[in-house]
């Protein structure tokens, strides 16, 4: 894959089929069970899952502050890809460090043996936005969020057996 300036990319492989990984990413009832770097406390999750629709997840930090993650869906190709942009009207980065106008592409790749590779590609408007996001813990937040998703998927897989 080509290197894109001002881009951060991370991935995980989950022991779950792509339809399930897609579902826990796109269903607010599932999303609020694992989304966010701060552990299990999410105060609310709203999602209008369609192109042009918006999402907002409010999470409580360990310090008791509310940290939002919000944006607008730009592209949805089930079950392969979701593209969204950080909330354009936000005066600052969201609670997970996503600056306004940053674009996130989430790729869902089916692998053999009912596994799924999830790839997150985030393109920032400029080098300053990327630097600010990293300074606010953007990468660490995403990594903790993706780490939360793994056990949740495992639990769902166990329950379905």
Alpha-carbon gap, residue 160 to 106, rounded angstroms: 25
pLDDT for 43-88, tens place per residue? 688 999 999 999 988 887 778 877 778 889 999 999 999 999 987 6
Q: What pLDDT is stored for residue 161 in this prediction? A: 78
Task: Quote the Cα angle for 19-23-24, to 5°.
Answer: 125
Answer for the pair 18, 41: CB distance below 8 angstroms, yes or no: no
Q: Which of 158, 150, 161, 121 is nearest to 21 (CA)?
A: 150
pLDDT for 87-107, tens place per residue? 766 555 555 556 777 899 999
Answer for the pair 20, 155: CB distance below 8 angstroms, yes or no: no
Domains of the chain, residue spans? 7-159
Alpha-carbon gap, residue 2 to 158, rounded angstroms: 38
For residues 82 and 135, the model is more confident at 82
Alpha-carbon gap, residue 9 to 3, rounded angstroms: 10
Topology at the third CATH level for domain 7-159: Alpha-D-Glucose-1,6-Bisphosphate; Chain A, domain 4 (3.30.530)
Q: What pLDDT is stored for residue 132 in this prediction? A: 82
| Secondary structure (H, E, C), 123-145 | ECCCHHHHHHHHHCCHHHHHHHH
Residue 70 DSSP code: E
Phi, psi of 28 (to 5 degrees): -55, -35
* b/e sequence 114-133, b meaning 16+ C-beta within 10 Å: eebebebbbbbeeeebbebb
Q: What pLDDT is stored for residue 16 in this prediction? A: 97
Q: What pLDDT is stored for residue 58 in this prediction? A: 81
């Amino acid at each position: 894959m080509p290197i894109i300036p001002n881009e951060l990319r991370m991935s995980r492989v989950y022991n779950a089929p792509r339809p399930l990984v897609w579902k826990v990413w796109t269903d607010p009832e599932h999303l609020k069970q694992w989304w966010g770097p701060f552990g299990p406390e999410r105060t609310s999750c709203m999602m209008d899952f369609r192109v042009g629709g918006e999402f907002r997840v409010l999470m409580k930090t360990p310090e008791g502050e509310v940290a939002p993650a919000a944006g607008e869906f730009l592209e949805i190709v089930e079950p392969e890809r979701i593209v969204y942009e950080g909330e354009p009207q936000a005066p600052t980065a969201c609670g997970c460090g996503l600056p306004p106008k940053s674009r996130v592409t989430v790729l869902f790749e089916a692998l053999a043996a009912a596994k799924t590779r999830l790839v997150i590609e985030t393109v920032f408007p400029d080098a300053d936005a990327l630097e600010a996001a990293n300074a606010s813990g953007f990468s660490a937040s995403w990594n903790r969020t993706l780490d939360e998703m793994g056990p949740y998927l495992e639990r769902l897989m166990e329950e379905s057996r």
